[in-house]
Structure 1
Amino acid sequence: MFSSLARLGLRRWLPAVLALVCMDLMMGCAARPESGFLATTAYEAPSATEHTILIASTRERDARPGTLYSGFRADWLDYASATMSVPPTHVDGKIEWPQTPPGDPRRDFAVRDAGYIDGDRAFLATVNAELAKRPPGHRKIFLFVHGFNTMFAEALYGFTQVVHDAHTDHVPVLFTWASRGKLTDYLYDNNSATAARDQLAHTIRLLTDSNAEEVNILAHSMGNWVFVEAMRQIKMQGGLKHPEKIGLVLLAAPDIDIDVFKSDLRAYGKLKKPYYIVLSKDDKALALSKFLAGGQTRVGDDGNVQDLAKLGAVVIDLTNVHGDDPTDHNKYAQIAAIAPQLEHVLQSGIEKNHVATSDAADQMTSTLGAVVSVPVNIMGNSFSIVSSR
């Protein structure tokens, strides 16, 4: 059997496949939050922190109590809102899941309130109302697009963790497309992601037409495919009314064919603001994706980061960061707590012979032609930033 696998060129992919299968089995034993995890609690824990998450979704509504959305595709873009509570005992990079929903807000993530918002106008009014709670200069939006194999509750709880750990005061908006949340449904998820591009483009238009001063975007895994396709749609349709409102764009562990992505970057032309690509060369989930795609390299595990930099992207290489999950696919969430320091490094610029500093930054050591590689260490997280000069 193994000789047959070797002839097919699969032997070197078996560790990644087995790791992903083991992870899926562990998640199954842990009872992944398919339903009921949006049940609300009236108890307000002392010292707990609450975050109101606005939601735009291409999932079908789910009538099961405490669920809101399923993994099936809807024919329209739907909206909702959820107020999430993070316990005072929370540890950065973790999600303290309730053993039984709604959980105990003193030690668990919990839902304080959740409900649907009907239509574009009501959603935009809700966005503007949340923005108005912030003073001028802080009226910004943080848009997140999740990845493959993600149930709705996982997307919502995971985004809440990132928002909390990053200490951001931006208005958080979750764009959630119809992932079934099953490892075996990769093709279904890929088609769902493609089907969601027009709705994400519409959401981006709504957010940039709001009273926001800036819209910052984080996409993860297959969510990057939705985002790149949405931006392509926007460009083909004449662009945004307020393109200047698009701020920081972080593409984390992008599950996109490298050649398709490079083609899209060339089609965009020189970006006014660079895309920041967060990748890790030991990402086992993307190794499996590469196998399923016939051996085509994914952006998120591309070893030739200099090519991406030359196309105008800034690459944040997390290969040397120890991952907390078996696949090393969610490292972006682990470093959310250093987001303010990382943003300072990025905003200060990366130039030839420039020292990128932070609370504990290393000296820049090398340049590669027109590409600069900056090793950075922030709060014990060692990684590199690669950019064109």
Structure 2
Amino acid sequence: MLVFLLAACASRPEVGFLAPVPALNDGSTAHTILVATTRRRDERPGTLFNGERSQDLDFARIAVSVPPNHQEGEIEWPSTPPGDPQTNFVVRQAGYLKGERAFVQALNAQLASRPKGQRRVFLFIHGYNTMFAEGLYRFTQVVHDAKAPAVPVLFTWASRGELSQYVYDNNSATAARDDLERLIRLIFAADVDQVNILAHSMGNWVTVEALRQIKISGRLPRNASKLGEIILAAPDIDIDVFKAQMRRFGKPKKSFLIVLSKDDKALGLSSFLAGGETRLGDDANTAELAALGATVIDMTQVEGLSAIDHDKFARLAAIAPQLRHVLERGTISRQFSERAHEATANSLEAIVQLPIKIISAPLQIGGH
């Protein structure tokens, strides 16, 4: 709890950090993020959305630039808004989109700039205690570090970004299920070849619930076969609830990738608030999860980006281009015990081996 209180005292990027900075020849790299949100619009300059709930799904298009001095896994926050593009993440352009049709048009325009067969969407759903700017910049960092060529889409629900607002955030995530389902259907109706999903923390709750709703509705998207990877990072879901969700959802054709860490202090607090019930991303039974159709990536030995160790997934982004190769290869070398220290150096192979030796023998990736 002390760690959380100290973290809560740190300055948070609430007002003015999203004010556009004119584009110059400063060596930065820009990424255009499409946004769908259940947050209420905020009239304060450079803020766009706050933590209160909106009655309707809203949309925006925001260009964020990453500075040339960027370090993988980090967000170079401005000390004062709006920041210096040579040293900080800054917004270049920002504007609201007028409804679903404008969002789909913007999405299709970006997809059309990719070669046919490579028109992918990368959908990110953030977690608890996340202000709008924080979710936007974290997603930009993941996209940049992973060198992801897909069109990035951020689904941001109404988190107040306050430690004391856990119950409010949980209810906001629950209330956002229908809107995320709607967004997923809009994306699949676009001219897309593949849709990959990454959810973090409490964002996993709304994600799995939305997917479950789609499954049991009997109205699957017409291009449902284009669903790619589903990555659940540090999932803040009661382990028994997740098992029930998966049994209802059915064993997926592709493994869910669950990124967990047993030293995640945020999930430790969540478990405490939930009466001691284990969270999926904390100390899961990997063998049981494998039987439900999941591949577990244990990042316990990887150094986190903060004292609470809840953001390790951001380091995975830097090595994401290797992920598909390692998973498709199927079998990992048995030299892990001699090279376990590589996990702290962000070796993907070492990270992925950790749960594999638990899941099955011989050392296979996945539980199928």
TM-score, normalised to structure 1, is 0.87
In 1, the alpha carbon distance for the partners of 2:341 and 2:69 equals: 32
Where 1:217 maps in the other structure, the secondary structure is strand
How far has the Cα of 1:375 moved from its partner? 11
Does structure 1 residue 355 correspond to structure 2 residue 368? no
Does structure 1 residue 231 correspond to structure 2 residue 211? yes
Query: In the TM superposition, what are the counterparts of 1:297-316 in structure 2 within 5 Å?
Result: 297-316=278-297
Does structure 1 residue 23 correspond to structure 2 residue 3? no
In 2, the alpha carbon distance for the partners of 1:222 and 1:254 equals: 6
Aligned to 1:108: 88
Pick one of 59, 63, 69 that aligns with 2:39. 59
In 1, the alpha carbon distance for the partners of 2:253 and 2:283 equals: 24
In 1, the alpha carbon distance for the partners of 2:305 and 2:81 equals: 24
How far has the Cα of 1:161 moved from its partner? 0.5
Does structure 1 residue 388 correspond to structure 2 residue 367? yes
Aligned to 2:221: 240
Residue type matched to 2:2 in 1?
A: L
Pick one of 250, 256, 261 that aligns with 2:231. 250
Residue type matched to 1:300 in 2?
A: G
Does structure 1 residue 325 correspond to structure 2 residue 309? no
Alignment deviations for residues 245-286 of structure 1 (CA, whole Å, 9 cap, x no partner): 110000000000000000111111221111100000110000
Alignment deviations for residues 41-91 of structure 1 (CA, whole Å, 9 cap, x no partner): 113243210000000000001111111101000001000010001111111
How far has the Cα of 1:241 moved from its partner? 1.8
Where 2:281 maps in the other structure, the secondary structure is helix
In 2, the alpha carbon distance for the partners of 1:148 and 1:197 equals: 15
Pick one of 57, 70, 77 that aligns with 1:90. 70
Does structure 1 residue 197 correspond to structure 2 residue 177? yes
In 1, the alpha carbon distance for the partners of 2:320 and 2:355 equals: 14
How far has the Cα of 1:376 moved from its partner? 8.1
Pick one of 161, 167, 183 that aligns with 2:163. 183
Aligned to 1:370: none
Does structure 1 residue 35 correspond to structure 2 residue 15? yes
Where 1:137 maps in the other structure, the secondary structure is coil
Pick one of 244, 247, 257 that aligns with 1:266. 247
Residue type matched to 1:152 in 2?
A: F
How far has the Cα of 1:136 moved from its partner? 1.8
Pick one of 108, 113, 125 that aligns with 1:128. 108
Q: Say whether the 8 Å CA contact 2:62–2:91 is kept in structure 1.
A: yes
Where 1:299 maps in the other structure, the secondary structure is coil
Query: In the TM superposition, what are the counterparts of 1:280-291 in structure 2 within 5 Å?
Result: 280-291=261-272
How far has the Cα of 1:216 moved from its partner? 0.3
In 1, the alpha carbon distance for the partners of 2:230 and 2:134 equals: 22
- Count of aligned pairs: 352
- Point out where structure 1 has 5 or more consecutive residues left out of the alignment: 1-16, 357-361, 366-373
- Point out where structure 2 has 5 or more consecutive residues left out of the alignment: 357-365
Q: Say whether the 8 Å CA contact 1:84–1:110 is kept in structure 2.
A: yes
Aligned to 1:369: none
Query: In the TM superposition, what are the counterparts of 1:213-228 in structure 2 within 5 Å?
Result: 213-228=193-208
Residue type matched to 2:139 in 1?
A: F
In 2, the alpha carbon distance for the partners of 1:170 and 1:378 equals: 28
CA RMSD of aligned residues (A): 1.7
Does structure 1 residue 275 correspond to structure 2 residue 256? yes
- Whichever of the two has the greater Rg, that structure is 1
Q: Say whether the 8 Å CA contact 2:302–2:344 is kept in structure 1.
A: no
Does structure 1 residue 337 correspond to structure 2 residue 318? yes
In 1, the alpha carbon distance for the partners of 2:316 and 2:124 equals: 16
Where 1:335 maps in the other structure, the secondary structure is helix
In 2, the alpha carbon distance for the partners of 1:288 and 1:304 equals: 19
In 1, the alpha carbon distance for the partners of 2:346 and 2:248 equals: 38
Pick one of 187, 209, 215 that aligns with 1:207. 187
In 2, the alpha carbon distance for the partners of 1:225 and 1:59 equals: 17
In 2, the alpha carbon distance for the partners of 1:202 and 1:347 equals: 31
How far has the Cα of 1:220 moved from its partner? 0.1
Query: In the TM superposition, what are the counterparts of 1:154-169 in structure 2 within 5 Å?
Result: 154-169=134-149
In 2, the alpha carbon distance for the partners of 1:325 and 1:309 equals: 29
Where 1:194 maps in the other structure, the secondary structure is helix
More deviation in 302-311 or 378-387? 378-387
Q: Say whether the 8 Å CA contact 1:56–1:176 is kept in structure 2.
A: yes
